[in-house]
């Protein structure tokens, strides 16, 4: 069995988290976070999200980030898993499983009614991983997003937003 140490992200080890986020961006073929994003991520740590690093052989090889949401129907908090990532060369060692189970434990500790996350439709390995752990794909729910520019546009439209 692989020994993995899971450590809460703080100011001291934040650079390890940020480096792994860059690796996730590469994996997903996305632009990496900007230097401004790095500063915001650090300043938001513990306020808007929690982060944990997975260390294998004293090296940071994976991480999770989650935040709290709320279910009005359950009248309970929801833990939303924003990221679960393990460096490619460290996959299939049980590290992702340990991070996921750690996240499940956090949801239980926080008395959550559910744990939610999204998966890119092309990421068949992640889809299989989550299904193996009993997760179900919610086909009836469609994921929508307003980007910051659209938020600004709508707020700037006085006919849309009442004061």
Residues recognised as catalytic:
130
3-state secondary structure of 55: strand
Token digits of residue 101: 């189970």
Q: Which of 89, 21, 9, 22 is nearest to 54 (CA)?
A: 9
**80: enclosing H helix or E strand:** strand 76-86
**108: enclosing H helix or E strand:** helix 95-109
Q: Which of 151, 123, 125, 139 is nearest to 30 (CA)?
A: 123
3-state secondary structure of 47: coil
d(CA 26, CA 31): 7
């Amino acid at each position: 069995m692989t020994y993995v140490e899971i450590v809460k992200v703080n100011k001291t080890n934040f650079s390890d988290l940020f480096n792994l986020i860059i690796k996730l961006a590469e994996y997903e073929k996305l632009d990496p976070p900007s230097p401004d994003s790095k500063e915001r991520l650090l300043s938001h740590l513990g306020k808007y999200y929690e982060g944990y690093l997975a260390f294998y052989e004293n090296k940071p090889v994976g991480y999770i980030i989650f935040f709290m949401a709320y279910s009005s129907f359950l009248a309970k908090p929801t833990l939303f898993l924003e990221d679960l990532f393990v460096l490619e060369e460290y996959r299939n060692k049980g590290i992702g499983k340990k991070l996921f189970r750690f996240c499940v434990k956090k949801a239980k500790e926080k008395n959550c009614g559910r744990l939610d996350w999204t998966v890119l439709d092309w990421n068949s390995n992640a889809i299989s991983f989550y299904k193996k752990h009993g997760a179900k794909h919610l086909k009836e729910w469609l994921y929508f997003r307003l980007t910051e520019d659209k938020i600004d546009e709508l707020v700037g439209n006085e006919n849309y937003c009442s004061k």
